[in-house]
Chain A
């Protein structure tokens, strides 16, 4: 009996890990492409938050999850493209504009949330979130089926994107060009290829991913918007990229570690672990610092990360 119970808890914990990993993976993979293109965008947290906010209110207003999803993605792209204008075209300090976007997003969504709270008469409506999709056949596999193949469609998409982005970056000419943006933008420019055009495109892709991540957070993992609900996931994505050394597969690994810690935290009290939950919540952040202390391998950090490209 107790063995069955333990197994049930483990299955639920690993299943939660995979579920929690999805938005983190989406936003990290998007930011990876952005950083590979030489743009050091710290505003992903804000972009994701704005997307979550938009996705929630659009789906409440239209009573359609799909319209909410679309609106979230559009907002993510819009925020990322505003970064493109500021960083690529106007060449404003990338670090500060990114922080500015985060502050604007958190202030604006908090204000609009409070105002809508008054409008709804003190209680915001909940939505009926996206259901999980059990993959036929695969979800019948004992234990693994429940953990891996009874998830949201976005979860499958997020994991698939790791492969897609890997193949794009390392097996296509466009991917090579994106990587060249971060390493040697001048080489592209002298070949007559547009540096800023590709950076805009990279940011648009990052915006799609961050928008999707924000929308998933509110439309699949919960049933309402809560102020600052991204809760540092955008920042964590940046840490994950550094910990994953700007490479897709190590990034996937880092995402899974962080997601597992959060899932463990959710279950720990149920299993009777008597550790303060704050310690478990802080573990990813402590872990990030420790992980970085241990980094000994050759850094793949793009040479021109955060350096605006000027043509002489």
Chain B
């Protein structure tokens, strides 16, 4: 006779499908939790979430809007993934995002060239601005042994204050401007729309390109292999000829450049101005996107799209259901929390054990 027993055991690897299911469960739980919160506050949460859905996917225009919102998140998500894959805990994406947009804006204040030259220059400046700040954190680590988390967090604040100074001193602000924001970015520096009448701009295409490039770079190249090896075991990686100092600086520069591109994509594709509030929060949202996507570039594209849809739908929900769109950043964090908790549960599985008696 055979008796079946069930035993809980640990899986070796959750796998792609497991990760996907886990993300879906986390998102569903987050909707339930925030739905309860809205109900408690006296909102009709079904109507609110219906407005969210319509705002995100209701029409082709809204889908385009969701994609536009997703683009900077994809960049900051990739920036996080590059650093975390190498197990370098940089949380400087927010500051690097600002730095990229700021350096690009700096060029537009004196460049006076046609769009065909200005736009590529602006994009390069964004990567350069973010990359320099990322590289600075790398140098601070390798040369002076300053903890990466500390230097990246501190630089986030320092850059925020620098922008605040450039605005309040009116170096970047018109004398009669009331709000703390720069002058409008000139037409020839803005990222062009992908086709006539489209809402999608060049930045969205760049984000897709970056996702593919990073996928190939991480998974199919020697550099990507070295990076992952370094993240797995820096000591062993050293024996394989990977120089840790160089790796840290390169990874942080690349990560910073990606975040900087995110800043350019948002400022030069959507806002057409710089302000402290316009770019706020993309760094932290990118971190959530990257973690939920398991630090995989292609998945980052998908999760960024979901988060972009949440942001786009949230604005519509604010108008239609009078729910402050600030709920969206809370929801993003709730999704992360549920994802982390379910990741523990998904590590285990029930296995049937047959015994002969």
A residues with CB within 8 A of B? 42, 86, 90-93, 95-97, 99-100, 102-104, 106-108, 110-111, 114-115, 118, 232, 235, 238-239, 242, 276, 278-279, 281-282, 285-286, 288-289, 292-293, 295
CB–CB B329/A107 < 8 A: yes
CB–CB A103/B150 < 8 A: no
Q: B348: shortest Cβ distance to chain A, in Å?
A: 11
Q: A253: shortest Cβ distance to chain B, in Å?
A: 18
The interface residues of chain B lying within 8 Å CB-to-CB of A108 are: 330, 333
A103 with B332: in contact, given A115-B324, A289-B140 (CB under 8 Å)?
yes
B59 CB-CB contact with A under 8 Å: no
The interface residues of chain A lying within 8 Å CB-to-CB of B169 are: 276
Alpha-carbon gap, A235 to B91, bound state (A): 12
Q: A32: shortest Cβ distance to chain B, in Å?
A: 16
B81 CB-CB contact with A under 8 Å: no
Interface CB pairs A-B, < 8 A, 20: A90-B344, A96-B291, A97-B337, A99-B91, A100-B340, A107-B327, A108-B330, A108-B333, A111-B324, A118-B324, A239-B153, A242-B150, A279-B161, A279-B165, A282-B157, A285-B154, A289-B154, A292-B145, A292-B147, A293-B144
Alpha-carbon gap, A135 to B255, bound state (A): 54
Q: What total of A-B pairs shows CB separation below 8 Å? A: 112
Of the residues A93, A103, A118, A285, contact of B284 by C-beta under 8 Å? A103
- Chain B contact residue count (CB 8 A cutoff): 43
Q: Taking chain B's interface residues, is the majority helix, strand, or loop, or is none over half, making it mixed?
A: helix
B151 CB-CB contact with A under 8 Å: yes
Nearest B residue to A92 via CB reads B340
Most buried by A among B140, B153, B165: B153
Q: B226: shortest Cβ distance to chain A, in Å?
A: 23
Q: B152: shortest Cβ distance to chain A, in Å?
A: 10
Alpha-carbon gap, A106 to B336, bound state (A): 14
CB–CB B326/A107 < 8 A: yes
Q: Taking chain A's interface residues, is the majority helix, strand, or loop, or is none over half, making it mixed?
A: helix
CB–CB A278/B144 < 8 A: no
Alpha-carbon gap, A242 to B150, bound state (A): 9
The interface residues of chain A lying within 8 Å CB-to-CB of B147 are: 242, 292
Most buried by A among B41, B154, B155, B288: B154
Alpha-carbon gap, A104 to B333, bound state (A): 5
B158 CB-CB contact with A under 8 Å: yes
The interface residues of chain A lying within 8 Å CB-to-CB of B154 are: 239, 285-286, 288-289
Alpha-carbon gap, A115 to B341, bound state (A): 28
CB–CB B140/A107 < 8 A: no
Q: B222: shortest Cβ distance to chain A, in Å?
A: 28
Q: B240: shortest Cβ distance to chain A, in Å?
A: 25
Of the residues B149, B155, B157, B336, contact of A103 by C-beta under 8 Å? B336
CB–CB A92/B341 < 8 A: yes
Per CB-CB distance, the 7 closest pairs between chain A and chain B, nearest first, are A107-B330, A107-B329, A104-B333, A103-B333, A114-B324, A111-B326, A278-B165
Q: B305: shortest Cβ distance to chain A, in Å?
A: 20
Alpha-carbon gap, A239 to B146, bound state (A): 11
B334 CB-CB contact with A under 8 Å: yes
Within 8 A of A (CB), among B105-160: 140, 144-147, 149-151, 153-155, 157-158
As a 0/1 sequence over residues 78 to 96 of chain B, the CB contacts with chain A under 8 angstroms (1 = contact) are 0000000000010100000
Q: B282: shortest Cβ distance to chain A, in Å?
A: 12
A288 with B150: in contact, given A114-B324, A281-B161 (CB under 8 Å)?
yes
Alpha-carbon gap, A167 to B164, bound state (A): 43
CB–CB B165/A276 < 8 A: yes
Within 8 A of A (CB), among B312-340: 322, 324, 326-334, 336-337, 340
The interface residues of chain B lying within 8 Å CB-to-CB of A278 are: 161-162, 164-165, 168
A107 with B333: in contact, given A282-B158, A292-B150 (CB under 8 Å)?
yes
